[in-house]
Structure 1
Amino acid sequence: MFPRKSISNLTQNQLERMLKDFIKLEDPQKPLSDEKLVNKFKEKEISISRRIISKYRKKLGIKNSYQRNQK
């Protein structure tokens, strides 16, 4: 097996772009929580913490999953 990519192998801009892409593709009725976003990165074999997801999401002006919920 190949080792997981650590966030140190990717730039902050790359991670932020991926985060925006994940959120852009989410179901507006069921927005992804920060924990689910962590799992999306894991699917890409990228290890990233929920705190980093939250930090980047806030920096990008993206609301949390409860605030993004469009019922």
Structure 2
Amino acid sequence: MQFANQMKILLIFLCILSHSVSGGPISYGTCQTACNKGAMSCYGSAGVIFGVGAVLACGLAQGSCMAACTPF
């Protein structure tokens, strides 16, 4: 009987936690990698090296993409 009560408490606790989790470190890293690859292709299509500040639109798009990766 005590085991059943412990399992009920654990289930309630896990249900509460499931609403606050949006993704783990692997999904965050994957999202950041996708943002960087998109920025690299943007810079490449503009004919400049990655990191050059001359292409403002690529940097803004990368920043917006990376901001979307962060959990709220």
Normalised-by-shorter TM-score class:
0.3 to 0.5
Higher helix share: 2
Higher strand share: 1
Higher relative CO (CA 8 A, sep ≥ 6), structure 1 or 2?
1
Highest Rg: 1 or 2? 2
